[in-house]
């Protein structure tokens, strides 16, 4: 049975929502997409006018999964500074596991910690501002916003 659906989110664009109760530690999705270098992914997104890098998921070896190519519903996961899901890297693949029990209808969130290789000017910072409204909000989706 399907665990999640994608629909409009009140936080940002589309979001991923539970359609049945999920247990803590349940593996919900694999983050699918094309594996490319960060540089190629950014170049492609600039060429195609895709805003931001929120479809990009960084792997520990420096490459990224580009969810805009061959991706699945995991690319619609929104960021929260108090997420209810975590991302687990396993053999070069990324999985989304729940951190706690989740009720049907709740939106699933992960923490992005995006890393950029370009200079962090104000335009970049603005593009990645966080609006999750958590009391411990870092105000940014970037790992190195400082």
Residues that bind Zn ion in the complex, under the rule CB under 5 A:
81, 130, 132, 137
* Identity of the residue, 41 or 81, whose beta carbon is nearer to Zn ion in the bound complex: 81
N- to C-terminal Cα separation, the chain: 42
Q: 115 with 143: CB under 8 angstroms? A: yes
- Say how far apart CA 76 and CA 135 lie, in whole Å: 23
Residues in the chain: 146
**Least distance to Zn ion, CB of residue 26, Å:** 24
Q: What is the gyration radius of the CA atoms in the chain, in angstroms? A: 15
* Identity of the residue, 29 or 132, whose beta carbon is nearer to Zn ion in the bound complex: 132
**Least distance to Zn ion, CB of residue 114, Å:** 13
Number of H helices, E strands in the chain: 2, 10
**Least distance to Zn ion, CB of residue 49, Å:** 26
**Least distance to Zn ion, CB of residue 100, Å:** 18
**Least distance to Zn ion, CB of residue 130, Å:** 3
* Identity of the residue, 56 or 110, whose beta carbon is nearer to Zn ion in the bound complex: 110
DSSP secondary structure letters along 11-61: SSSEEEEESS-B-TT-EEEEE-SEEEEHHHHHHHHHHHT--SSTTEEE-TT
* Identity of the residue, 124 or 137, whose beta carbon is nearer to Zn ion in the bound complex: 137
* Identity of the residue, 95 or 113, whose beta carbon is nearer to Zn ion in the bound complex: 113
């Amino acid at each position: 049975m399907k665990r999640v659906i994608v629909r409009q989110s009140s936080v940002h664009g589309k979001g991923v929502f539970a359609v049945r109760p999920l247990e803590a530690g349940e593996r919900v999705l694999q983050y699918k997409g094309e594996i490319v270098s960060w540089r190629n992914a950014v170049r492609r997104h600039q060429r195609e006018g895709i805003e931001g890098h929120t479809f990009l998921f960084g792997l520990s070896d420096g490459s990224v999964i580009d969810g805009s190519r061959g991706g699945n519903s995991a690319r619609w996961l929104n960021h929260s500074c108090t997420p209810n899901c975590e991302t687990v890297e396993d053999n070069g693949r990324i999985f989304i596991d729940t951190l706690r029990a989740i009720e049907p209808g709740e939106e699933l969130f992960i923490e992005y910690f995006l890393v950029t290789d370009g200079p962090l000017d104000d335009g970049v910072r603005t593009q990645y501002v966080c609006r999750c409204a958590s009391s411990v909000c870092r105000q940014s989706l970037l790992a190195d916003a400082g």
